[in-house]
């Protein structure tokens, strides 16, 4: 059979699997617009035909093992290309370093073309088909992806689907008065309907960008801008928008992107009289995009950015029969973790983990301690109120603690979007600086530095104990500190998130090889933990998990069990040594030392952890079932 015939047969086979559902959902959403649906199907074939031969082979390999991403071998790192290595070619030059870190999942933060000073860190895209010129070209992105694939690494990239920059071609033509392009956004002749929206739609940034609409003087109309005035919300009720944005996404996949991070997923459908969040049509759109990827590039995964509590996050997985996102962020655990660092009280974190443990094991979360964004205190305050923690004063305590205002705190962070009248603010800072490493080094206090490094390592051990994909933020592997240089940059000084988005310190990275340095201590410890996680069966993502009662609210206890191996993980969030009052029978070994240890009344050093593993024969590695 000719290659062209083989390709056509492959596309037809994949399309037929989803065609009936795809047509039904599309026509329900777009009121039976068959012409638009036919265009959509033709677009899918066009994208399939444009897919490079090497990526098609990649797809076929993954089609045989669709659960490849659920392997415990995956370890991610998120990075800004310019901050990490200058440009895409620079990242290619540092792939050896990423492999030395054990990284095989590289999340490139937004890098598509966006206007300087009005980009929100790259989240205001002016051209979905171009890389920011200072970072390289689409060809450079494809070359980097190919290099990563050759090393067994996958590439993740943000796809900003809720809005475009006001400098996007569609927006420029809308400003010029072309109705076809105004219909791709939400334009109104006056403030009547926008004011009705505002009655039910919460503000995202009430301090820095109040309201959800802006006046467009060029068009003489009001336009919806949920996030910032220079980010115009797309109208997905218009099938042209959905068709073209899906094609933009698939074009990124054809340049080697394996994981598409759907930015601001819950916001993409707007409806008057609602809060414009999590509407049913959002799930229809994501399901359609999932099927589009399975037809064109089945090696591709969708990662949903849904920053909400688990009960609202879980629906974005869809169902086992009709999946939507392959992966979602475990954002609530991240925020609850830092709450626990500040309060030394593990009850909320345990409650949060119990919620996650109850979810089906088929759900895959990305777990992290820090990311490019701020820490928002969207905690379970009804739960905290049981223990006397009221929302407004508690948020103030957390922010005072992590900015170092609270007496005795060694944390060093800064506030973001501070709203004193609401008693609310978000927090910025690197993992190391929030753990107290920055303050300890500044003071030259060796004992304080030891404790801070121990806390940093303990938090990463907790990260690696969870099921899912652990993701580091670039620099955390060497304990990189806050970067205050952004205060001197007029394009960044109003955004404190750049505090932890600093440039990679490559001289510091080299010190990871020097015994006794902060970089070496953290890097070596994390690599050891990551290696253990990959080697021992009990860390398999299919393991049973539960919380352990240590009868000590300073200690978080987690149990894991998989095919004969049992792990007891104990984490001390107190600055004092604590005892976990557990009473487990059987022989246990300290996994980090492989020395025999008791699982009764276990002492855990201040800000430290213990991994205790059973060995029914000897504490040796047990071969895991490979998903590769």
Catalytic residues: 263, 305
Is residue 114 within 8 Å of 126, Cβ to Cβ?
yes
* DSSP letter for each residue of 345-386: --HHHHHHHHHHHTS-TT-EEEEES--SSPBP----HHHHHT
438, 440, 444, 446 alpha-carbon torsion, rounded to 10°: -130
How many other CB atoms sit within 10 Å of the CB of residue 151? Answer: 14
Alpha carbons 367 and 335: distance in angstroms, whole number: 11
Is residue 472 within 8 Å of 457, Cβ to Cβ?
no
Both tokens of 66, joined, read 């669709």
Nearest to 604, CA basis, from 575, 566, 563, 565: 575
- As beta bridge partners, residue 223 has 187, 214
**C-alpha R_g of the chain:** 25
Alpha carbons 92 and 623: distance in angstroms, whole number: 33
Both tokens of 184, joined, read 């791709």
Length of the chain: 628
Number of H helices, E strands in the chain: 22, 25
Residue 524 backbone dihedrals phi, psi, to 5 degrees: -65, -40
Angle at 77 between CA 429 and CA 228, to 5 degrees: 55
Is residue 55 within 8 Å of 256, Cβ to Cβ?
yes
Residue 474 backbone dihedrals phi, psi, to 5 degrees: -50, 130
Alpha carbons 139 and 269: distance in angstroms, whole number: 33
**Cα distances (angstroms) measured from residue 583 to each of 215, 466, 604:** 65, 23, 15
Residue 511 backbone dihedrals phi, psi, to 5 degrees: -70, -10
- As beta bridge partners, residue 267 has none
Q: Where are the alpha helices (DSSP H) in 475-560?
A: 506-510, 518-535
Alpha carbons 225 and 186: distance in angstroms, whole number: 9
Alpha carbons 132 and 12: distance in angstroms, whole number: 36
Alpha carbons 191 and 215: distance in angstroms, whole number: 9
Q: Spell out the residues 6+ positions from residue 381 whose beta carbon is closer than 8 angstroms to its own.
A: 389, 390, 391, 394
Angle at 213 between CA 209 and CA 214, to 5 degrees: 80
Alpha carbons 558 and 308: distance in angstroms, whole number: 23
Nearest to 243, CA basis, from 55, 17, 26: 26
């Amino acid at each position: 059979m000719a290659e062209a015939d083989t390709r056509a047969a492959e596309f037809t086979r994949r399309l037929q699997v989803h065609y009936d559902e795809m047509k039904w959902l599309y026509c329900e959403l777009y009121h039976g617009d068959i012409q638009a649906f036919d265009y959509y199907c033709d677009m899918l074939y066009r994208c399939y035909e444009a897919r490079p031969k090497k990526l098609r082979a990649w797809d076929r390999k993954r089609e045989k093992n669709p659960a490849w991403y659920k392997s415990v071998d995956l370890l991610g790192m998120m990075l800004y290309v310019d901050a990490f290595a200058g440009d895409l070619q620079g990242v290619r030059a540092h792939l050896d370093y990423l492999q030395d870190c054990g990284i095989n999942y590289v999340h490139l933060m937004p890098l598509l073309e966006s206007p300087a000073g009005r980009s929100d860190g790259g989240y205001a895209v002016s051209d979905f088909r171009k890389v920011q010129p200072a970072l390289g070209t689409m060809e450079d992105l494809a070359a980097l992806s190919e290099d990563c694939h050759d090393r067994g690494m996958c590439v993740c990239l943000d796809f900003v689907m809720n809005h475009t920059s006001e400098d996007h071609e569609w927006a420029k033509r809308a400003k010029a008065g072309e109705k076809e392009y105004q219909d791709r956004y939400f334009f109104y002749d006056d403030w009547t309907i926008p004011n009705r929206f505002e009655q039910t739609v919460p503000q995202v940034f009430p301090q820095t960008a109040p309201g959800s609409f802006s006046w467009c003087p060029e068009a003489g109309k009001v336009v919806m801008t949920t996030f910032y005035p220079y980010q115009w919300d797309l109208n997905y009720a218009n099938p042209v928008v959905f068709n073209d944005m899906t094609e933009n996404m698939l074009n990124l996949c054809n340049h080697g992107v394996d994981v598409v991070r759907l930015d601001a997923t819950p916001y993409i459908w707007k409806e008057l009289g609602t809060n414009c969040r999590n509407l049913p049509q959002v799930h229809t759109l994501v399901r359609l995009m999932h099927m589009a990827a399975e037809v064109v590039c089945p090696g591709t995964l969708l990662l949903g950015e849904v920053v909400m509590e688990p009960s609202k996050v879980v629906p974005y997985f869809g169902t086992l029969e009709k999946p939507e996102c392959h992966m979602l962020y475990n954002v609530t655990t991240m925020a609850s973790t830092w709450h626990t660092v500040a309060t030394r009280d593990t009850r909320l974190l345990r409650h949060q983990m119990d919620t996650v443990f109850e979810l089906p094991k088929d759900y895959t979360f990305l777990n992290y301690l820090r990311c490019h964004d701020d820490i928002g205190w969207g905690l379970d305050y009804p739960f905290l109120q049981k223990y006397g923690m009221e929302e407004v004063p508690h948020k103030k305590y957390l922010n005072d603690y992590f900015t170092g205002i609270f007496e005795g705190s060694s944390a060093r962070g800064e506030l973001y979007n501070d709203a004193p009248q609401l008693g609310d603010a978000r927090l910025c800072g690197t993992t190391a600086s929030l753990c107290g490493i920055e303050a300890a080094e500044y003071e030259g206090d060796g004992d304080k530095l030891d404790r801070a490094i121990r806390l940093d390592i303990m938090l990463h051990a907790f990260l690696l104990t969870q099921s899912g994909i652990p993701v580091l933020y670039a620099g955390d592997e060497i304990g990189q500190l806050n970067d205050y240089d952004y205060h001197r940059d007029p394009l960044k000084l109003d955004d404190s998130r750049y505090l932890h988005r600093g440039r990679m310190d490559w001289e510091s990275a080299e010190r990871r090889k020097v015994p006794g340095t902060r970089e070496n201590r953290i890097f070596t410890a994390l690599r050891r933990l990551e290696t253990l996680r990959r080697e021992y069966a009990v860390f398999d993502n299919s393991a049973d998990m539960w919380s352990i009662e240590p009868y000590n609210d300073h200690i978080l206890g987690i149990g894991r069990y998989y095919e004969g191996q049992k792990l007891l993980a104990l984490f001390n969030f107190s600055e004092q040594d604590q005892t976990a009052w557990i009473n487990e029978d059987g022989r246990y070994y300290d996994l980090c030392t492989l020395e025999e240890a008791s699982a009764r009344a276990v002492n855990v050093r201040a800000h430290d952890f213990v991994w205790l593993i059973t060995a029914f024969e000897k504490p040796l590695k047990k071969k895991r079932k490979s998903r590769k």
